[in-house]
C-alpha cells in the first residue's frame, strides 16, 4: 500500500502541513509506504488546454508535473492538503489539479492508458482556514469530491479545520485525530 501526500500550502511547516503529516503518520502506522510532495517546491505550470494529452495521455508541458503524474499512478491513496486562499485552494494546488487533465481523454473518460492504474484509487482532502466556519473550505471539497465522482475514484472524505497562526492547529486535538484517522483509512485495503 502506497499513500501519497500532496501539500498545496506554500507555508511549509504550517497548519496544512501539520495535518498532512498527521495523516501520513496514520497511514504509516497502518503499514503503508508514505511519500510527501510539496507543490511550492515544484515547477508546475497551469494547463494550457492544448488537448495534446487527449490522444497519448501525456502532457505536452515539460515540467515537474510529469514526475508527479507517475507518483499519482503508483499511489493507492492520495491525501491532499490545502489552506483556503480567497475562498478557494491555493494556486499551487489548482495548477496541480488542473494538470490531472492528462489522465482523461477528449470525452472526459479515464484515458485507456491509465484506466487500470486509476481505478479504485482513493482520494482524501485536508483543508485549513482561518475562518472559524470550516464550511469556508466547501468549494475546495466540492472540487476534489466531484473529480472523484466523475472519474470513478474512491472519495474517502475531508478533514476541515480552522486555524490561523502557523502551528496553531497542533493544539486542536480533534483535527489532529481526524487527520490521523484519515491516513489510517487511506492505508486500509
How high is the pLDDT of residue 56? 82
How high is the pLDDT of residue 5? 98
How high is the pLDDT of residue 59? 93
Q: From residue 151, how far is each of 101, 123, 124, 188 by CA, in Å?
A: 11, 11, 14, 21
How high is the pLDDT of residue 144? 97
How high is the pLDDT of residue 170? 98
Mean pLDDT per 10-residue section of the chain, whose length is 189 residues: 98 97 98 98 95 89 96 98 96 97 91 91 97 96 95 96 96 98 95
Domain 2-45+52-186's class?
alpha beta
How high is the pLDDT of residue 57? 87
127-150 burial, b at 16+ Cβ within 10 Å, e below that, comes to bbbeeeebebbbebbebbbeebee
CB 95 within 8 A of CB 88: no
Amino acid at each position: 500500500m502506497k499513500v501519497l501526500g500532496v501539500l498545496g500550502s506554500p507555508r511549509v511547516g504550517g497548519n496544512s502541513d501539520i495535518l498532512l503529516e498527521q495523516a501520513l503518520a496514520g497511514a504509516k502506522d497502518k503499514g503503508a509506504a508514505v511519500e510527501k510532495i510539496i507543490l511550492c517546491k515544484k515547477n508546475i505550470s497551469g494547463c494550457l488546454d492544448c488537448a495534446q494529452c487527449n490522444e497519448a495521455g501525456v502532457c505536452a508541458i515539460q515540467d515537474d508535473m510529469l514526475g508527479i503524474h507517475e507518483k499519482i499512478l503508483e499511489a493507492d491513496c492520495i491525501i491532499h492538503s490545502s489552506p483556503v486562499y480567497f475562498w478557494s485552494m491555493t494556486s499551487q494546488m489548482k495548477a496541480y489539479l488542473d494538470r490531472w487533465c492528462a489522465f482523461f481523454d477528449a470525452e472526459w473518460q479515464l484515458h485507456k492508458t491509465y484506466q487500470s492504474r486509476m481505478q479504485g484509487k482513493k482520494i482524501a482532502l485536508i483543508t485549513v482556514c482561518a475562518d472559524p466556519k470550516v464550511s469556508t473550505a466547501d468549494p475546495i471539497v466540492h472540487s476534489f469530491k466531484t473529480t472523484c465522482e466523475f472519474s470513478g475514484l474512491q472519495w474517502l472524505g475531508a478533514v476541515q479545520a480552522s486555524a490561523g497562526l502557523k502551528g496553531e492547529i497542533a493544539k486542536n486535538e480533534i483535527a489532529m485525530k481526524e487527520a490521523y484517522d484519515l491516513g489510517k483509512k487511506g492505508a486500509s485495503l
